[in-house]
Amino acid sequence: MNLYLHEGEPSQEVLDVVAEEIELSKDIPQGIYHVYLHDNQIDKTRANGRKESSISLTYPNEMIKND
C-alpha cells in the first residue's frame, strides 16, 4: 500500500497509527501487507512519491493482518 500524507513529513508514529488502523479494519482482508508512507510530493513524470523521506513496513517487517 502506498499512502500519502496531506501535509508534513512521514514519521514512525504516523506509520504505527496507520498500521494499527489497517489491522483493526474489518474492510481489509487478512494477508501480508507492505505499507509505504510518503509525503505529498509526487514526481509527476513517474507518478511516484518514493524518496529518502518515505518510510515503510516491508520485508522482513511487513504487516501481517490476521482476523
> What is the pTM assigned to this prediction?
0.79
- What pLDDT, on a 0 to 100 scale, did the predictor assign at position 46? 75
Question: Over 90: is that where the pLDDT of 64 sits?
Answer: no
Cell of 23: 489491522
pLDDT of residue 13: 94
Percent of the residues in the chain that have a pLDDT greater than 70, as a whole number = 100
pLDDT tens for 3-35 read 999 998 999 999 999 999 989 999 999 999 999
pLDDT number for residue 34: 93
